Structure 1
């Protein structure tokens, strides 16, 4: 039960960071700002997202492949849509539309970053010896 709670905390933290990334990218995606550099920000945040997923998985969940579905399924089916709807609802129409567009256009990149971060954390975590 404790492991399930830890996996849900990791899912919620990843969804929260996803919302922060979307809000920052929507803020930067304006003609007078860094529009020509938006791909650099998208991939930079994706790498940061993978590193955060790596660290969260390594220190909270450890070496257990069962963590991947326990984190990713609630993250994509529950926490990400709920957090995204709440972010769109508090933003004005212009930013809300931009957030929806960015979520759809960069979602695959962040999916791969999340899987990559979780997988590497599980691979590079030492097994805990009980005894």
Structure 2
């Protein structure tokens, strides 16, 4: 099809490629069929294939079992004036530069500081608006 019907309107595209209904939960249904013994057998078979040098098994292990760890946040104390988010961000940047803090964790902390600052600004604007409304009502 050219994409447009005889009246110039667009028509449905490749309807043969549409997903079949009812298949989206197939993985969960299949997983429920496995017993603990079945899962153990799969792991044992996979490890045997890895020992034999099977490339597909090695790929599965490297991708899902021995994957690089995702970063995890560990508590990181920082001393800074909470009324001055700039000093907090600078403290975090210094810790990153010194190697005391991973860059991804530092970025998350700075994003958190920015969020807190935005919330603080909204609260302050709301307070100022309320005060102005009260002043206007008092003058009338």
The two structures have a TM-score, normalised by structure 2, of 0.30
Greater RCO (CA < 8 Å, at least 6 residues apart): 1
Which of 1 and 2 has greater Rg? 2
The two structures have a TM-score, normalised by structure 1, of 0.31
